[in-house]
Amino acid sequence: MNNLIVNLVLGDIASLLKIKGANNYKIRAYENAIAKIKNLDVDIKDLVDKGELTEISGIGKSLANTIQEIIFTGSCEEYDNLIKEYPPSIIPLLKVSGIGPSKVKLLYNKLNIEDLEDLKRKAELGQLTQISGIGAKTEGKILSSVNKLLDETDKLDLGEASLLSNKLKTYLDKFKDVHRIKVIGSLRRKEEIINKISLIIECRDFQVISKNIKILPIISEILEENNQKLILNSKLGVKIELIRASSSDFWNKVFWLTGTEEYNKKLKSVFSIRQGDLENKFESEKNIFNKLNIPYIIPELRSDLEILDRAREDSLPLSIKNEDIKGDLHIHSNWSDGRYTIEEMARACQNRGYEYLSICDHTHSLTIANGLDVDRLKRQWEEIDKLNEELNIRILKGAEVDILNDSLDYGDNILESLDVVIASIHSGFGDSQEDMMKRIMIALNNPYVDILGHPTGRLVLGRASYNINFEKLVHKAVETNTILEINSAPKRLDLNSHNVKLAHKLGANFIINTDAHKMKQLDNMKFGVGVARKGWLEKEDVINTLSLSDLKDFLTK
């Protein structure tokens, strides 16, 4: 929680300094510190207590004092001075397309625009054209961007929400009054976008818990408070809800507050659940399913109305589990844009119990990601050969090959030499459906392409899918035996569960990869597994549940 709070405040300082027009060196110092703290594996307060904060590259004595002040007070002198000049509510304006820091400053000083809603209203009235450099066309683009941002406001992707939820649980677990905590609602269902983090808490004194969570620096507003429930707004936008439970009704509340309202309504109807059926105290949620004579439905499927018909027929999928995964075939190293060496990523996979991994760095056309030309790729193979002699995990030689306009980024002679070939699109996102499908078909028809990476190109809360005919794509993938990737990065989750379910019905094969650029990101595998579970996949549907020998056989078919 300390790391999160420090980064929130430092991030606001950096943004407000940009708007103010401060020295770029100073701004970069804050941004560098944020990046370093984000990657810390320890609580930053521990470093402060040990006097080791300045040992982090880029954090000098002055910045260390600022961080220490934030940890102990939730704020700092520089931040307090900046918000006297500019309200923090203008910071989201920096995300608006067509507006830079200097324009944000002008909009505030000349038009008194303090937040996105203000900007939307004044754009609709045509008032932005009073600002030099903003014409009617630019104003229209600004309005479109604002509407998109407002639609995304107060929402987090699954990864960000899970991180915050875990930090809240860790914080609350420290109180003696708390007996147990359980995540419920959309976060427990592994929805890709979360607007409320809901926790059930069994505790002796709910008021003590409420008092202590309300004073956390990430809390911005109290929305509802009574002896049974507390709803708060956070500075991250997402709402936080705490619901009190007793030992006798804890699992009852978990059961009913995990599913959506529509799901619960159909559940009651399909299985003729009557009021009073669940008045007993239960020792687990599975006991409730047994009491109601319903096969256990995993939390990920408790918004899926169709699954209730499968439950009635006792034909639920044998859902894939995290422990079924035997390797990760989409990992980046510092040969391209990853942070760690191949050895470090391999050892991290080994520590997770994997049998194998594949290093799939970017190819040379993706210069922004330090893509590998053929000579560098072959030198990487030499390193992999040496590591395979030393480590107790198999490193496969792979590449994430760019799909260009009319070809792949490596020739067939190189693709044929690789153990794993992932073909992905990283450019031309606005291409017509005809052009995009032509590019994808080049990849799917290539006999050496094993996997289509993040197949629709969407970014959660960021970018819509490419303009593609998804059914046609799947039919071709089935025909060519090309595996479809479920990319576990929380900002991608591509394929999503809807597309997974459709592709599964059409006979596709799947792989769940993390696309990890850092060791921590290997833990994102659970999010991809969640998508697979929501899409009704079983262990046999996912190829990286295979042993190494079976995987090699599959890839060489």
Mean pLDDT, residues 401-413: 96
- Residue-level pLDDT at 184: 98
| pLDDT for the residue numbered 317 | 97
Residue 309's pLDDT is 95
**C-alpha dihedral (93, 9, 196, 300), degrees to nearest 10:** 100
Mean pLDDT of 332-338: 96
Determine contact, residues 96/144, Cβ cutoff 8 Å. no
Out of 61-65, 435-439, 472-476, least confident range: 61-65
Does residue 26 surpass a pLDDT of 80?
Answer: yes
Res. 456 pLDDT band, cuts 50 70 90: very high
* pLDDT tens by residue, 99-135: 999 999 999 999 999 999 999 999 999 999 999 889 9
Torsion angles phi and psi, residue 253, rounded to 5: -65, -40
- pLDDT, one tens digit per residue, over 286-303 is 999 999 999 999 999 999
Q: What per-residue confidence (pLDDT) applies to 11?
A: 93
pLDDT, position 250: 95
Q: Summarize the confidence of residues 61-89 as an average pLDDT.
A: 92
Whole-number pLDDT of residue 217: 84
Torsion sign (Cα): 81, 84, 86, 90: positive
Sequence-ordered alpha helix ranges (H) in 336-407: 342-351, 374-390
Read off the pLDDT of residues 360-400 as tens digits, 9 standing for 90 and up: 999 999 999 999 999 999 999 999 999 999 999 999 999 99
Write down the CATH superfamily of domain 156-312: Beta Polymerase, domain 2 (3.30.460.10)
What per-residue confidence (pLDDT) applies to 471?
Answer: 97
CA dist 204 and 207 (Å) reads 9
Residue 453 pLDDT grade (very low, low, confident, very high; cuts 50, 70, 90): very high
Q: How far apart are CA 361 and CA 347, in angstroms?
A: 17
Average pLDDT of the chain, as a whole number? 94
Helix (H, G, I), strand (E, B) or coil at 222: strand
| The pLDDT value given to residue 151 | 86
The pLDDT score that the predictor gives to residue 283 is 92
- The SS3 assignment for 219 reads strand
Q: How confident is the model at residue 436 (pLDDT cuts 50, 70, 90)?
A: very high
For residues 540-551, give the mean pLDDT.
Answer: 97
pLDDT of residue 276: 72
The reported pLDDT for the residue numbered 39 is: 79
Question: Does residue 198 surpass a pLDDT of 90?
Answer: yes
CATH class entry, domain 322-555: alpha beta
DSSP state of 408: B
pLDDT tens, position by position, 169-192: 999 998 988 999 999 999 999 999
pLDDT of res. 274: 84
CA distances, 556 to each of 112, 357, 392, 475, 510 (Å):
64, 17, 23, 20, 16
- 3-class DSSP state of 5: helix
Least confident of 124-133, 339-348, 483-492: 124-133
CA distance 488 to 510: 12
Domain boundaries, the chain: 2-152, 156-312, 322-555
Please give the share of the chain, as a percent, with pLDDT higher than 90: 86
Which DSSP category does 420 fall into?
E
Which overall architecture, per CATH, does domain 2-152 show? Orthogonal Bundle (1.10)
b/e per residue, 261-299, with b = 16+ CB within 10 A?
eebbebbeeeeeeeeeebeeebeebeebbeeeebeebbb
Residue 274 CB contacts under 8 Å (≥ 6 apart), including other chains: none
> Which run of H or E residues covers position 488?
none
| 237 pLDDT higher than 90 | no
pLDDT of amino acid 449: 98
- What mean pLDDT comes out for the span 223-247? 94
500: CB partners within 8 A, 6+ apart: 486, 510, 531, 532, 534, 535, 536, 537
